[in-house]
Structures are given as C-alpha cells and as structure tokens.
Amino acid sequence: MEMIFADMKEFVCIYIDDLVCFSNDLESHERHCKLVLEALTKNKLPINQEKTYFARNAVYLLGYCISPQGKSIDARRLVNIDSWEKPKTAKAMMKFCGWASYMRSHLPNASELTAPLDHLRYSTKKVLEWTPQMHEHYQSIIDIIKENIVLSHPDLNHEFSLAVDASNYAVGACLFQEFTDETGKKTIKYIGFASKALNPSQRSYSVTKKELFALTTGLTKFYKFLYGSRPFKCYTDHRSLQYLFTTKHMSMMMLRYMEIVLSFPNMNVIWIPGVENIMSDKLSRLFPTPADNIPFEKDERALFPQIFKKNQKNIKSIVHKKRKSLSNKQIDNEHKTNEIEFMETNCINIERLPNFAQYFCSTDMTHDTNNHSMVENETDNDFQINFIQNMDESFIVPLEADRKDILQRAHSFGHGGGESSVHRIRKDEGMNWPKIMQDALEIVKQCPMCQKFAIAKKGYNPLKPLYCYTPGWHYQMDLCGPFPVTTSNNTYILVLLDIATRFVILRPIPDKSARTVAKELISIFSLIGYPRIINSDRGTEWKNAILDTVGKNRLKNSAAMK
C-alpha cells in the first residue's frame, strides 16, 4: 500500500489496510478520489463498499474524530464512561493506564495524573487498595476525557504559544494559539499536549532544573511547529526561566538543556502566576489541587527508608529548623552556619508524616535566603527525621548507628575509594551526613580486601617502554614449558631476547633448576659476550644464589607475573 500511493502522500494516509483521502475542497476531492480508485484498480485491490464513505466533513479513525474543527475523541467511545468499574486488580489497572496513555494527546498533564495509579500495575495484591488521592486522580482522568478537548488544526500563518510546567513527578507542555475577534474577545485553540514522567533521579532535581526540563520537553515535542517559525511566546510559572539567558554559572546538565533552548532564538519567555491560566475555567477545575499531589506509597518507602524501618506508632512529630546555613561543627568543610532555630510541627495523622516531609523536599530554595533542615532524634516517646535541603539536592540523614553498615554496603560494590562510596550513597540512596568522607575513608582503610589487593597511589609507577641502542647490551629472558619430553630428555625452552635488535635465542633444557639455567646462560654468553643488563621475572629459577653469582650486578628482576 505504501509503495502504491508513494506519489500521493499529499492527500492520502494509510494505516495497514485502511486508506483515507482528504482534500481542501469538493472539486479537488473528486480528482483525488479518482486517482486513488485508479491506483487500486490497477493493482487489483478491491474495496469494501460497506466501509467506504465519500465527501464526508468528518471521519472516525482509530478512536478519534477528524473534522474541520480539529481532532477529538470519538464520542461513541465515551457514552458509558461514567458507569465504568474502577480497576480492582493489577491487570485491570494496566488496561486502564494503557487506555489513558492512548488518550494522552487529549489529556493535559497525563503523566502527572496517572502517576499515583501507574505503580499499581505491578502490584502483587489480589485486590488493589485505593487511597483518596488515587480516587481523585482517577476521577480527574475520567472527567477530563469526558470534556473531549478538541485539538485544532494549526494555523501556520498565526503566532504559536507554548506553556510548560513541572511537578514532583512529571513535566507537561501545551501548544496553543490565541485568537482575538472583532469584539476583543480572546479565544484559545489547543494544538497539542505533551507530558513525561520523571524517573527517580529526575525527581531529585531542583525546581529550576525541572522547569527547564519541561521547557526542553515541550520544545522537542513541538519542534516542527516552533523551529524556524515566527516569534512565539513561552508561558511559565517559574520566574528563573526568564533569567537563564543571562546566568553566568550553570551545571553541565543545565548547559545541555540550554543547548536545545538556544536553538529557538525566536522564543520569548513570559511569567504568569499559574500555567493553568491557559485552560478554561471549567477544565482547570477538573485537575487535583496541588496540595494533594503528594508522594504515593512506593516513593514514600524509597525516600524515607529509616521511617518505615521504625515502629510508626512512635512517630509523633517533625522538628523543622530554619537557618541561613549549617554549622561548621555539624558539617565540616561543606557548609557554614549560624545558630539554629527550632519549630516543632505536630503530626496528627501518622500515615501522612512522610508526605509532610516530602513537602520540604520539593520546596524551591532558589530565591530563599534560608536553608531548611529537619533533625532526627530518637527518644522514648517520639522519632524525628533528619533532613538536609541544599540548593540543588536533598538528602536524608540516617541514624548514626546505621551509618557504618551503609558505608560498608556501598563500599562492597567494586571496593572503590572513599569518593566512590560517598557518590553512591548520595546519588543512589539519597543520604548524606556530616563528615561522611572521613567515615568513608576509614571504612576503606579497614577493608581487608583493599589492603590485600589495592595498589597505593604512592607506590604506583606507570609502565614505561625499554630502550636500548647497542646490540648485546640488554637481554630479557624467560622459560617456556613444560613440553612433552624429547629424545634428548628436554622439557623446557630457555628464551633470550636482545632488546636492541629483537634477536631471539632459544635453548632446550631438561629442567628449570637454578644450576641448569646458570649452566646454559654461561654457555650462551661465552659465545656472544656478557650483557650489561639481564631482565627476568621473580621466578625461583632466576632469584637464587647461583644466578646472583653468575649475573653479579647484571641481573634485574621485574614485577612478578601470575
């Protein structure tokens, strides 16, 4: 089919054995249909008359309706959507998430809406346990799909606008066009939506990095509409994106993102209080409130492992301390600090304690002059969390009694140095504590495997080539064997190599005892002369009193070979 209609791609689209012919007006449509029918007849391909329609203003394709207004969901598929039963098993949840993913082009912020439901696809429980947050997100997905947003056909002669936003678990983008009628009333026509879920490492990004990632996601998704076009506006609710073009210092990750952003010189970044402003009032009310977009069960255990190891009945409160920086006594050579002010917040609902702590993980510290931290302290009545918030990274501080086990576990992955262990703990486990580098170096020093096999930097010497410009001045020697016994009762071969000429001398010998090797060396050097330097490995056939007498100061032993 693709080969048959290769020259008709301007007005023909093919999906397996289905064919759609489209035109701008009836006259050209008649001409196009005639060409299509002639091509089918020429290749002896019959058509199904029951599924054939001509001169239609709208067609239904793959669950969507294509009309002059744009692309919308086939309304026939949404008739009984309110009567759908909520998924009760992992397999049913997988089907629902797959359906929502297929409709994601009409579901703004699809990744964020499906995040609390997505991890239930792999649940091992026979019956899924629904939380209020999951119910709300499920209902929001249903309500937004019911609205049946129409994605309009783009007007290439009109200005485009892009809106981007980021949350704790996903980034989203919306491409739209604004039109103003004669009365001054503005109308927004949506062109497309894009969203992407954040992986565990991306969730630890600072808010600025997340917003920049959302911007690059939108620019990449709608590249064909925005690149090289007339100037377009980019709306964001994060002011820092306005100043990225004048920032002097950036991380390598942000520079890679900026490489994409700078390829769109026609973009004008505009700050608005909330990206949801581009949505109609009716549609924006269907989204869950931001306060409810909190971590779900799977991530709570990953972010706060120490909490879930403890008895949650003893968790009473979180101590939140606010200060300009941390004390030198607390964190050596990493931060500076003043006095600490404590503020205790009671946690009425123990189950929401990790969610309360996660609020501080997502706090934007870019424009805040004070850093935030939480202190852990286990007493008879309560358990408190220690949490450090930096400009770009957030860490959990484990109990002091558990730190040695954490370091030993990190060091066991390859037996690297202290920096390798600290990097693994910070990046993979999201933990940190004062003087962690000193503790890691102590673990490395105490490791018996490292003491036995590791090469110290002080005693390390790189390999160097051997140079010799005088024949017979420098020889290297070694033994080959044992081989099968020859008729002369020999089992080994003595090998000598002249470094200058690469001339090789081979002599058969019956064994590799020191006396036999010394006798053969005297025989060889009596003919060609004694060299100044002889190299060998540290085998017993070379390192002995007999050869020391024969070689005197000429014999040099290299590193032992295994």
Closest C-alpha to 120, from 107, 138, 147: 138
Q: What is the pLDDT of residues 509-519, one digit of tens each?
A: 998 888 888 88
**Is residue 125 pLDDT above 70, yes or no?**
yes
Q: Structural domains in the chain?
A: 6-56 (no CATH), 81-294 (3.30.420.10), 312-449 (1.10.340.70), 474-557 (3.30.420.10)
Q: Please give the Cα distance from 160 to 220 (Å, whole number).
A: 15
**Is residue 332 pLDDT above 80, yes or no?**
no
Task: Please state whether beta strands 232-236 and 504-509 pair in parallel, antiparallel, or not at all (unpaired).
Answer: unpaired
* pLDDT > 90 in the chain, percent: 1
Closest C-alpha to 476, from 541, 544, 557: 557
- Confirm if 424 and 389 have CB atoms less than 8 A apart: no
Residue with tokens 């790189």: 462
pLDDT at 345: 37
Handedness of CA 308, 311, 313, 316 (dihedral sign): negative
Residue 230 pLDDT level (bands cut at 50, 70, 90): confident
- Confirm if 358 and 295 have CB atoms less than 8 A apart: yes
Residue 460 pLDDT level (bands cut at 50, 70, 90): low
- What are the beta bridge partners of residue 171? 166, 196
**Letter for the amino acid at 248?**
K
Mean residue pLDDT of the chain comes to 73
Q: Please give the Cα distance from 219 to 402 (Å, whole number).
A: 45
**Is residue 305 pLDDT above 70, yes or no?**
no
**Is residue 235 pLDDT above 80, yes or no?**
yes
pLDDT at 455: 55
As a residue count, the chain comes to 562
Q: What is the pLDDT of residues 148-206, one digit of tens each?
A: 888 888 888 888 888 888 888 888 888 888 888 888 788 888 888 888 888 888 888 88
Q: Please give the Cα distance from 54 to 406 (Å, whole number).
A: 70
Handedness of CA 386, 388, 394, 398 (dihedral sign): negative
pLDDT at 38: 87
Phi and psi, residue 550, nearest 5°: -70, -45
Q: Please give the Cα distance from 381 to 313 (Å, whole number).
A: 10
Sheet with strand 64-67: strands edge to edge: 59-61, 64-67, 70-73
Q: What is the pLDDT of residues 398-415, one digit of tens each?
A: 788 888 888 888 888 878
Q: What is the pLDDT of residues 44-68, one digit of tens each?
A: 888 888 888 888 888 888 888 888 8
Among 144-148, 306-310, 508-512, the range with the most confident prediction by mean pLDDT is: 508-512
pLDDT at 349: 38
Per-residue pLDDT, averaged over 72-88, amounts to 82
Identify whether 434 is preceded by a cis peptide bond (ω within 30 of 0). no
Residue 311 pLDDT level (bands cut at 50, 70, 90): very low
- Both tokens of 172, joined, read 């989203």
DSSP 85: P
151-160, 293-302, 427-436: lowest mean pLDDT where? Answer: 293-302
Separation of first and last alpha carbons in the chain: 65
- Both tokens of 54, joined, read 């001509």
pLDDT at 368: 36
Q: What is the pLDDT of residues 8-25, one digit of tens each?
A: 888 888 888 888 888 888
Q: Please give the Cα distance from 97 to 114 (Å, whole number).
A: 7
pTM exceeds 0.75, yes or no? no
- Both tokens of 388, joined, read 């450090």
Q: What is the pLDDT of residues 247-285, one digit of tens each?
A: 777 778 888 888 888 888 888 888 887 654 555 444 444
Q: Please give the Cα distance from 509 to 481 (Å, whole number).
A: 10
